[in-house]
Structures are given as structure tokens and as C-alpha cells.
Amino acid sequence: MSTQIYHGRIKRNATLEQVHADLVAIRPEYVRTAREAIATVIARKLAFGRDLAENLCLIDPECNHWSRKRVVSKFEDAYRHQDDTLKALNWDFTCSVSVIPYRGDVLMLTHWRNYSQFADLIERAGFMDFHYQNSTDKPDSISEEEWDARRDAWDEAMPSGRAAEVAFQFQLVSWIDGLSARYDSDLIRACAPTEQSRRERVAYHLTEAAQIAHCTSPSEAMRIHRKVRELYPNRVPTVHLSSTPLQEA
């Protein structure tokens, strides 16, 4: 049987009761981090729309996808369609874990998109990396004995390979936890992007738009992507920035 534990962790010498207390204690920090992440996305999109308007004129104002109303509506649409990956991708900062008692330790599976701050928080709470895959060679940093021990632990703790059959689930961040961030103007302003990142994003967008205009077939997409990466830095110094990038926040 193929064993693919990409996001496995372990807390040594712990009980479920202790782990539950740890998770309850760190949950507020997870919620704060998620709200900041959502506010950062909103701030980035609002600033981009304002900066873009300094560098070109929209023929049809209704095509402005970066007004506050449009940006917030995208977040709300993602909330309503949480299972739609395309709609939820940029906005999904939900986070949960599955925990399984194992011989005096507690194994954990983490469930979130690859958001480094979440991993940092769980490590600070004492849950160390314990991933395992039997379809690839072990990492050089892990000994054969340790790799085999991980295999045995996961096979014994989760014999069917299905966490739902043996694990206890704990929600660290839900969609509801993050919803209020869309109305938190102070938080959005605190998460404003840097001027350099704003210039780079507009420069990339304008360069990409110019290159795509010459695209005649899907097979040219990779060539255009490479060309944009090559050319856009030259455009960065010429980008004009809005003096009020978050006025709508």
C-alpha cells in the first residue's frame, strides 16, 4: 500500500488532553494570522487597482475588477463556494489538524494550503515534522532508523490510510473567523504592500498584457511567460503609483 504522509507531525510524550489544551491555546494566534493574511490579499488588490489606474485608463469603468466592492465580493463569493478551488484559492486561510494517539506520543496531520506562518506556529507549539512517503527515497537529513520508525508509526496508527477513521479533528481557523477582516480598515492599512512590490506587480501586468497581444496559439504561452519574466524588471522604474492606494479600505 502506498503511504504518502506529506504533512505529518508528532508531539513526543504527550496525551490527547495535553494536545487539545495546546491547540486551544494557540488558536487565537492562528485566527489573528489568518485575518492578517486575508487583509493582505485585500490590500494588495486595492493598491494594484489604484496603481494600475495611474498607468492606463479603463475604457469601461465597469471593467475595474479592483474596486473595494469588487474585491470584497470576490472574498464573499469564495466563502459561498468554498469547494470551488478556483474561487477560493486566493482567500482560503482555513486551517485544521487531525490528531492520533500513538504509544505515548500524538501524531498529527495538518490541513491547510502551503502557508508558512501556519507551519511556524505549529512548530512553536512543539509539533515536529514527521512526514513519510514510501514512494521516494528518504531525505538525506533523516536516518534509516528514523525513516523506518516513521513508516511503522503511521502504518500502526492509521492502518487503513484514512485519518477520518482514527483521528480527532480540531479546527484552528474557519471561514467565519476570517470574514470580519474584510471590514477592518485599520488591519487592511497595516497590511499594505511595499512600494517596490506595487511597482513590480503593475510592471508585470502591463508587460504581460503587451506580450499576450501577440500570442497566436496556446503553445506560445510558455515562451511568453519567459519573455515577460525577462522584460518586466526594465519597466518597474517607469511605473507611477497612486498616492492613496488604500483610500477605499
Q: What are the sequence ranges of the domains in the chain?
A: 1-192
* pLDDT score for 213: 76
Residue predicted with more confidence, 41 or 224:
41
pLDDT for residue 9 is more than 70: yes
* pLDDT score for 248: 59
Strand pairing report for 95-102 and 105-111: antiparallel
Give every CB contact of residue 126 below 8 A, 6+ residues apart in sequence.
11, 14, 22
HSE-up of residue 86 (Cα within 13 Å, Cβ side):
0
Indicate yes or no: pTM above 0.95.
Answer: no
Model pLDDT for residues 86-122, shown as the tens digit of each residue? 999 899 999 999 999 999 999 999 999 878 899 999 9
* pLDDT score for 61: 67
pLDDT for residue 249 is more than 70: no
pLDDT for residue 220 is more than 60: yes
Model pLDDT for residues 110-168, shown as the tens digit of each residue? 999 878 899 999 999 999 999 999 888 889 999 999 999 999 999 999 998 899 999 99
